[in-house]
């Protein structure tokens, strides 16, 4: 059952972007060694996708007017992110690609945080088909400490509700691929990034995707993924977790860790410069007075 969930996460990673119809979504989680931290979410809806989303909303009985710039929506999201999460600020975005908002949140306890793999659909749009859905299970987190004092963040990604393969063996659900291919034109430009940055020196992580202090948990560039027919054919034919791993390793436009848990170990955050100066001054004074 463990390997089935891992393969399904790959399907959800691809499906998540398509459900939100051409989003550029970036979520950066910054965690301190005491479990507090900040969450930054930046979402841009492509201009062409706004009309598509309005159509989905109307067909589903929702609102036909969508406002990805809504500060109220950004404020309301804080309550769904978990206990102790507060809205800090947000800035509207408008450029040639689309419209959106960058919002910042603060939290006191990372174990209370609930982060979705995909952005919230504006206007309350709900899409549910055999393979695709705007609903996404929440990523949960916990923090432990090593005997030496290092903090270890445990990032748990639950298996999605969809089944992978006819026999649940860990392969790929062909229905998802059929729908992705059918929506290919509408999905142009969709990009999803979920990353974590420890507020302290990064010691090690189980994720293979590291750039400086940033640990990438998931990244999907759907144009590159759907544009590689050979890759899609190999992925569609994958029947086991090992086959999925082999196909997705170094795949263009795709960074995904198929393990059910990702760990990030880091040291405590260094004190601010002013505090560090006082500490050094105090140490020098003690040395002189001895």
Bridge partners of 261?
A: 156
Mean pLDDT of the chain: 74
**Which pairs with CB-CB distance under 8 Å and at least 24 residues apart come from 270-274?**
270/200
Burial of 19 (0-12, 13-18, 19+ CB in 10 A): buried
Measured distance CA(12)–CA(177) in Å, rounded: 11
| Angle, CA 117 vertex, CA 56 and CA 59 arms, to 5° | 10
Cβ atoms 101, 94 nearer than 8 A: no
* Residue 122, φ and ψ in degrees, nearest 5: -65, 150
pLDDT at 54: 61
Q: Helix %, strand %, coil % for the chain, to 5? A: 35, 30, 35
| Angle, CA 67 vertex, CA 61 and CA 71 arms, to 5° | 125
Gyration radius from the chain CA atoms: 21
Cβ atoms 25, 119 nearer than 8 A: yes
* pLDDT band with cut points at 50, 70 and 90 for residue 162: very low
pLDDT at 87: 96
* pLDDT band with cut points at 50, 70 and 90 for residue 220: confident
pLDDT at 112: 94
* pLDDT band with cut points at 50, 70 and 90 for residue 164: very low
Measured distance CA(71)–CA(79) in Å, rounded: 14
* pLDDT band with cut points at 50, 70 and 90 for residue 166: very low
* pLDDT band with cut points at 50, 70 and 90 for residue 222: confident
How long, in residues, is the chain?
A: 290
* pLDDT band with cut points at 50, 70 and 90 for residue 160: very low
Bridge partners of 156?
A: 140, 261
Longest dimension (CA), the chain: 79
Cβ atoms 23, 190 nearer than 8 A: yes
Strand 191-198 and strand 23-31: pairing? parallel
Cβ atoms 8, 162 nearer than 8 A: yes
pLDDT at 182: 63
Each residue's pLDDT tens digit, 252-281: 888 888 788 999 999 986 545 544 444 344
- Map residue 242 onto helix, strand or coil: helix
């Amino acid at each position: 059952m463990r390997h089935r969930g891992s393969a399904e996460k790959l399907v959800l990673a691809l499906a998540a972007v398509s459900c939100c119809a051409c989003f550029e979504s970036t979520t950066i989680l910054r965690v301190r060694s005491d479990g507090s931290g900040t969450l930054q979410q930046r979402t841009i809806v492509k201009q062409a996708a706004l009309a598509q989303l309005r159509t989905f909303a109307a067909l589903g009985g929702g609102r036909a007017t969508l406002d990805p710039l809504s500060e109220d929506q950004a404020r309301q999201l804080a309550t769904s992110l978990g206990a102790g999460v507060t809205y800090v600020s947000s800035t509207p975005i408008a450029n040639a690609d689309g419209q959106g908002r960058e919002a910042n949140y603060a939290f006191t306890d990372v174990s209370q945080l609930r982060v979705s793999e995909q952005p919230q659909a504006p206007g309350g749009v709900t899409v549910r088909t055999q393979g695709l859905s705007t609903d996404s299970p929440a990523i949960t987190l916990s923090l432990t400490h090593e005997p030496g004092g290092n903090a270890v963040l445990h990032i748990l990604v639950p298996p999605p509700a969809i089944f992978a393969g006819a026999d649940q063996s860990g392969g790929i659900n062909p229905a998802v691929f059929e729908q992705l291919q059918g929506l290919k034109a509408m999905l142009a430009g969709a990009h999803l990034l979920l990353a974590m940055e420890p507020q302290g020196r990064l010691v090690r992580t189980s994720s293979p995707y590291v750039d400086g202090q940033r640990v990438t948990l998931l990244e999907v560039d759907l144009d590159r993924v759907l544009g590689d027919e050979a890759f899609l054919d190999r992925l569609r034919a994958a029947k086991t977790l090992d086959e999925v791993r082999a196909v997705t390793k170094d795949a263009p436009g795709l960074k995904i860790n198929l393990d059910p848990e990702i760990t990030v170990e880091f040291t405590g955050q260094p004190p601010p410069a002013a505090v560090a100066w006082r500490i050094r001054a105090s140490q020098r004074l003690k040395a002189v007075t001895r």
